[in-house]
Amino acid sequence: MENKSSVKQPALSIEYKTSSNPFSNNKILIIDDEQVVIDSIRYHLKREGYEVLSAMNGKQGLEVCNKASPILIILDIRMPVMDGIQFLKHINPSPHDPYSVIVLTGHGDDEEIEKCFKMGISAFLSKPFNLYELKGLVKNSSKLKQTQLELKNEMKKHIQFEKELVEYEVKLEGMVEERTSKLKDVNSKLKNDLDDRKALEKKLLNEKRELQKAQEDLKNAYAHLKTSQAIILQQEKMAGIGQLAAGVAHEINNPIGFISSNLGTLGRYVEKLTKFITLQTLAISSLKVKEDLKEAEKELKLDYILKDIKELVKESIDGAHRVAKIVSDLKNFSRADGQEERALTDINGCIESTLNIIWNELKYKATVKRKYGKIPLTKCYPGQLSQVFMNIFINASQAIDKSGDITINSWQNEDSIFASISDTGCGIPKKNLSRIFDPFFTTKDVGMGTGLGMSISYEIIKKHNGEITAQSEVGKGTTFTVKLPIVA
């Protein structure tokens, strides 16, 4: 290499540029006595979003390092004033430093390279170098150093947390010692009264147990929170079932009523048929077959009975099926969430099943209009989605004063299923619309709701990686829209 010590050294060059690089610190320092090398590397690294600093020798490089704190240094070995080896001795790089070093030289031998690695550099490139290889090294080294710094910060936070924990334990021990000391003083004052002493010892024992229990509760807080959430969810579901119990009983009583009535009528028909058959047998035996049969057939209304008996049986069977469907839907809906598994489900069928359960709540106030679209099956928790639709239907029914419409739409858009339920009820004021999914928020009268229905519905849809939104206008009605991903 030529001796360039007589070449005029330019002033320090520190450039600032808005970074598009993802790292929080993207400053790179190039230390090289060849300006063309600096300019070439600067041009390509600036295009990658890095802020590039430069120096012509090791001495200038130390000054830039102290001012700018780069995350990466690209270092030449042989330079005037202070070469790369001397620079490395000054900075003494290690994994704990906020920067990495890449050596870039055209005159390094194996011994010199080995020496550089022992001094803490992270990579080495020979001149002439491949720009793509250099950019890759820069990217990897920057990312590695950033990760090291982040880990270092996390370690500091962890150490601070442990320190605070120790302080808290010391404080807690102090509190326990203080409480124990006070109890000892009280015990000393009351040592002549045996009953009081026993009571005091019992109190101390209880407080000790409470302290141990509090510590145990603290460890299990997250697990208890999850359990409580599941219990609240099931309680809300069972509250909904309780609210619907009278309606479901009415829905079951109707078919049971006409089944019982039909069976009673069927019994009377059977008696008449039995009487007719008896008469028919007697008539045949006395050879008055034709006249007696016609008279008995007319008297017993046999033509009507034979026609009506088929209808009674058919109606009774349909009623029994209806009862079985209501019971089945109610059983599926009331199943605890922890026992339910994801299953391929028809969302249209899920809505219909929910309507079947709460039909008594709707039929006297609303006309239900179904506009189901052709949608694919999706893997979901059908019982939980039924709870969402039930909450929306009940809210729609309660929003309608005397009579109105509830319209159901469903459709597919790309990889999602949509279901909307609209009512012509009183609507929701704009100031309340943003709060309807908040836990315990309700505008209903006392006893009309817990304020958890829509909050739980929101969590259920979120659990399905979906969305639930509401649009409303006071005096015109409300529309809830549920968006669910299609999961095969």
Rounded alpha-carbon distances, angstroms, from residue 24 to 75, 187, 332: 22, 62, 53
Query: Cα–Cα distance between 330 and 187 in angstroms, integer?
Result: 61
The one-digit pLDDT tens for each residue of the chain (488 residues) are 434 333 334 444 434 343 344 445 688 888 988 888 888 888 888 888 888 898 988 888 888 888 888 888 888 888 888 888 888 888 876 555 667 888 877 766 777 777 888 877 877 777 777 777 777 778 777 777 667 667 777 777 878 877 887 887 788 888 888 888 887 777 777 677 777 778 888 888 888 888 888 888 777 766 556 556 554 655 555 555 555 555 665 666 667 766 767 777 777 777 777 677 777 666 665 655 566 667 776 777 777 776 777 777 777 776 666 666 666 655 555 554 445 578 899 999 999 988 987 888 888 889 999 999 999 999 998 888 988 998 899 899 989 988 999 999 999 998 999 999 999 999 999 888 888 888 777 776 655 555 677 888 898 999 899 999 999 999 999 999 999 999 98
pLDDT in tens, 267-317: 777 777 767 777 766 666 565 556 666 777 677 777 777 677 777 777 777
- C-alpha neighbours within 13 Å on the C-beta side of residue 204: 18
Query: Cα–Cα distance between 361 and 244 in angstroms, integer?
Result: 7
Q: Which two tokens stand for residue 231?
A: 């219990």
In this structure, are residues 345 and 375 in contact, taking their beta carbons and an 8 Å threshold? no
pLDDT in tens, 81-133: 888 888 888 887 655 566 788 887 776 677 777 788 887 787 777 777 777 77
Query: Cα–Cα distance between 165 and 468 in angstroms, integer?
Result: 42
CB atoms within 10 A of CB 469: 12
- C-alpha neighbours within 13 Å on the C-beta side of residue 132: 0
Provide the CATH topology of domain 13-151: Rossmann fold (3.40.50)
- C-alpha neighbours within 13 Å on the C-beta side of residue 336: 7
In this structure, are residues 408 and 442 in contact, taking their beta carbons and an 8 Å threshold? no
Listed residue (265, 352, 363, 280) closest to 310, CA to CA:
265
Give pTM, 2 decimals.
Answer: 0.41
Provide the CATH topology of domain 343-485: Heat Shock Protein 90 (3.30.565)
Q: What are phi and psi of 231, to 5 degrees?
A: -65, -45
Please give the pLDDT value at position 333: 55
Query: Cα–Cα distance between 375 and 432 in angstroms, integer?
Result: 33
DSSP 391-419: HHHHHHHHH-SS-EEEEEEEEEETTEEEE
Please give the pLDDT value at position 128: 77
In this structure, are residues 333 and 386 in contact, taking their beta carbons and an 8 Å threshold? yes
